[in-house]
Structure 1
């Protein structure tokens, strides 16, 4: 009964004049994190593509879908545990893969994965992590040997690096691979563009690459395109010093770091990514393979036919295609298309436990938490992420209980009503 326990603890602490360690409301959490983070860091985390209409659509979809609670059902608070891909999860929640977490806190993934593991929740390590994959998995296992850790893969144009990443995920003991297919190149993100800020050019978010033998072994290979020879400025000098500091952590010289950044930029984007690469990744690993970034039911069906183990509905939190379909609106069609043959996961726009209940009622087997946990990380490191997860789990359980849901298996569209009327004014990020 985590909901009542967390709620009572907060109220009892209030009697002694102590407030929760971080804001409970998602909008207040974001606002407080903005004060703590640099303008560049906050823009990278909070921003989306274009006019951020997809971000707004993600939140609007949740606002317009109403829960329909049932009363007097004599049910106790339901258990939250689920089993997916042979692993037990404490709740149908997971922490989404988010890159460059060092922008929020120096411990980055290490802090977040420990908080998740202590609560029995899965963590997805981003391809653009700030710490090596192996260290993140080790940090989780040190807290909870059964903690599921997934590796998110961006398919680069260099198949040797892709193969090496897969082998490392297997050797590290990852619970699965999450192949992300909606980011074959970066979306148009005005917040970052206005600041001229791309963290990868500073060597941030490249820990998986900087510790990979295949990637490092190719640093001296020629690359297409002209070399970048900027005129010296004070800002450039500061960035080169930061690049050198990063290199020292991995035993790489400044020259090697410059080559690594250039090679990453040259091989990261892969607009030609196709179903053939999905097939090859499927054949290259025995780990459960999830396909992330699916919105169209025909894509979901094709993925299942190719042998993926899970379909992950997402529009990347509105960061890729402005004006895209809200992920929550795509969810029921994808669930219908796969017909229960594989689990369906979902993220994009989830802010509250009530949001998660709506997604679960529409057929998601688990729901991903994104930006809010990064804001919590910025405010309090591991303890901040832990407090956020406790708050979210409490609201999830309380919402289920107050809606008359006796078990997760009971959830379905019958716990939802017709769309609410559009709200009057207001915006919400995703």
Structure 2
């Protein structure tokens, strides 16, 4: 069965079972492309500017080799970890992804059911297409809320209080995207949100009017006028007892500032290569941040994860867990909750096999010693 889009490109129906052709997480990409129109594809598949960082995120994993170890006793091995006072069965979480009904009619509800089925943590975006409360009602694994500071700070506080009341177990504040990156792929496609797709949790918020005096910059005096600063992170820390995680930290000095202001953890992220182009890969930045923090707070990482060996490499360089974004979208677009669950299971099984073949019975056994060459 196919349908027709406005761009007159046929779309294939969502799968109800996973074919043998999908043997790896990366296989989902082509299947998703067949099922998304040009508008949605431009959104999920785009990076900033020339997409150097987007490509580099993936290349960094490919350039890092592993040592194998043999004849190790693997009985009793497992992938369980404690993170922010919560028990996770494995270190792969679903990253916050906006507008998920752009990719599948059930959107975030399908994703959270898949996360529950696979005992995976999920981070829900401020720009979700279902309410925070609806998504939370389907959760059966750790659920975190990703917060974008809004120009209306009182409305921002209301979002936080809603997340607390709905039972979200951590607050993830994205700090690396106060303004959108220059995404030429989206511009060339004329990307727009279709009717019926929107950020339902922002309904009713007052939007500021952009008024510039002569000589003022649209960027510095306009778009950045309401951007958060470190002072607001400090205030936010005082407003909630939830674990506070800052997403988008890549510089060691920013990591130390986050620690000083009371953050409980950070996510090393370059927004999937969607904000500032020419940034290093997140994997390349991980060792320096880990060295600066010396284990004083958990580090998570996103960007470029496609294999269980990628998860192993990130953990070897200092990450406690990883998040996946585009693989979530590709699997969601291909087969809904079934696809997302299969994607998560594939990564977990690959991680377990990688651990077994490198002599790591638990996550604590994964150290830089498993790396045959390191970018440290």
Q: TM-score, normalised by structure 2?
A: 0.89
Whether the aligned pair in 2 keeps the contact of 1:77 and 1:400 (CA below 8 Å) is no
Count of matched residue pairs: 351
Q: Give the Cα separation in 2 of the matches to 1:276 and 1:308.
A: 13
3-state DSSP of counterpart to 1:345: strand
**Is residue 2:246 matched to residue 1:291?**
yes
User: Where does residue 306 of structure 1 map in the other structure?
Assistant: 261
Whether the aligned pair in 2 keeps the contact of 1:26 and 1:351 (CA below 8 Å) is yes
Whether the aligned pair in 2 keeps the contact of 1:317 and 1:347 (CA below 8 Å) is yes
Q: Give the Cα separation in 1 of the matches to 2:88 and 2:169.
A: 12
3-state DSSP of counterpart to 1:290: strand
Whether the aligned pair in 2 keeps the contact of 1:80 and 1:90 (CA below 8 Å) is yes
Gaps of 5+ in 1: 1-17, 227-266, 421-430
Q: 1:54 to 1:380 in 2, by over 3 A?
A: same
Q: 1:189 to 1:417 in 2, by over 3 A?
A: same
User: Where does residue 216 of structure 2 map in the other structure?
Assistant: none
Q: Which has the larger radius of gyration?
A: 1
User: Where does residue 183 of structure 2 map in the other structure?
Assistant: 189
Map Cα deviations across residues 220-242 of structure 1 (whole Å, 9 max, x no partner): xx73459xxxxxxxxxxxxxxxx
3-state DSSP of counterpart to 2:138: helix
User: Where does residue 161 of structure 1 map in the other structure?
Assistant: 155
Cα displacement (A) at 1:203: 6.2
Q: Which segments of structure 1 move beyond 2 Å, counting only runs of 4 or more?
A: 18-22, 24-28, 74-78, 201-205, 222-226, 267-273
3-state DSSP of counterpart to 2:137: helix
3-state DSSP of counterpart to 1:67: coil
Q: Give the Cα separation in 2 of the matches to 1:139 and 1:178.
A: 20
3-state DSSP of counterpart to 1:380: helix
3-state DSSP of counterpart to 1:139: coil
Cα displacement (A) at 1:25: 2.8
CA RMSD of superposed structures (Å): 2.1
Stretch deviating more after TM superposition (411-420 or 125-134): 411-420
How do residues 193-232 of structure 1 correspond to structure 2 at under 5 angstroms?
193-199=187-193, 204-210=197-203, 215=205, 218=206, 223-225=209-211
User: Where does residue 281 of structure 1 map in the other structure?
Assistant: 236
How do residues 112-127 of structure 1 correspond to structure 2 at under 5 angstroms?
112-127=111-126
User: Where does residue 52 of structure 2 map in the other structure?
Assistant: 53
Q: Give the Cα separation in 1 of the matches to 2:197 and 2:224.
A: 17
Cα displacement (A) at 1:419: 5.4
**Is residue 2:313 matched to residue 1:342?**
no
3-state DSSP of counterpart to 1:66: coil
Map Cα deviations across residues 64-95 of structure 1 (whole Å, 9 max, x no partner): 11111111122237201111111111101100
Q: TM-score, normalised by structure 1?
A: 0.78
Q: Give the Cα separation in 1 of the matches to 2:269 and 2:39.
A: 25
Give the structure with the higher percent helix.
1
Whether the aligned pair in 2 keeps the contact of 1:22 and 1:376 (CA below 8 Å) is no
User: Where does residue 4 of structure 1 map in the other structure?
Assistant: none
User: Where does residue 178 of structure 1 map in the other structure?
Assistant: 172
Whether the aligned pair in 2 keeps the contact of 1:156 and 1:268 (CA below 8 Å) is no
Whether the aligned pair in 2 keeps the contact of 1:112 and 1:385 (CA below 8 Å) is yes
Q: 1:83 to 1:419 in 2, by over 3 A?
A: closer
Q: Give the Cα separation in 1 of the matches to 2:108 and 2:347.
A: 19
Q: Give the Cα separation in 2 of the matches to 1:348 and 1:270.
A: 28
Q: 1:27 to 1:87 in 2, by over 3 A?
A: closer
Q: 1:139 to 1:269 in 2, by over 3 A?
A: farther
Gaps of 5+ in 2: 1-16, 213-221
Cα displacement (A) at 1:208: 1.0
Residue 323 (structure 1) aligned to one of 267, 273, 278: 278
User: Where does residue 71 of structure 2 map in the other structure?
Assistant: 72
Q: 1:270 to 1:58 in 2, by over 3 A?
A: farther
